[in-house]
Amino acid sequence: MQQQHIHCIVNDCHYWAQGNKCDANEILVSTNNFAESQPDQVDAPMASQLTPENAGVCTSTACKTYVTKGSGKVNADKVKRMS
Ligand code: SF4
């Protein structure tokens, strides 16, 4: 299986790791509108069932997998840390 290699500088995320790496086994990038309107349970494990849409500019995209470190919501999305 291919290892993902995602760099991220959002260090209050549960999946963030030293060296500015994302330690999630999978992530979902979406439009901001999608991220704001969908519950935490809608995330990377459901990606193949979701309808793709246009963002237009990079600032209209979001990491849907982001979870605030220590927020108690870390299991809602069914995403796992790799280490
Ligand atoms: S889940 Fe998203 S916000 Fe969190 S570390 Fe990975 S890429 Fe960054």
**pLDDT one-digit tens code per residue, 10-37:** 999 999 999 999 999 999 999 999 999 9
Q: Over 70: is that where the pLDDT of 46 sits?
A: yes
Q: How many domains does the chain have?
A: 1
- Report yes or no on 34 lying in a domain: yes
pLDDT attached to residue 37: 98
CA 41, 37, 28, 64 dihedral sign is negative
Ligand 1 neighbour 67 (Cβ under 6 A): no
Ligand 1 neighbour 79 (Cβ under 6 A): no
Contact in structure between 51 and 24 (CB atoms under 8 Å):
no
As a whole number of angstroms, the distance between CA 75 and CA 25 comes to 13
The first and second tokens of residue 56, run together, are: 């237009």
- Report yes or no on 32 lying in a domain: yes
**pLDDT one-digit tens code per residue, 50-79:** 999 999 999 999 999 999 999 988 888 899
pLDDT attached to residue 41: 95
- Report yes or no on 13 lying in a domain: no
Q: Model confidence at 83, in pLDDT bands (50, 70, 90)?
A: confident
pLDDT attached to residue 2: 58
Q: Which domain holds residue 55?
A: 26-63
Return the ligand 1 atom nearest residue 21 CA: 5
As a whole number of angstroms, the distance between CA 16 and CA 14 comes to 6
- Report yes or no on 40 lying in a domain: yes
* C-alpha R_g of the chain: 13
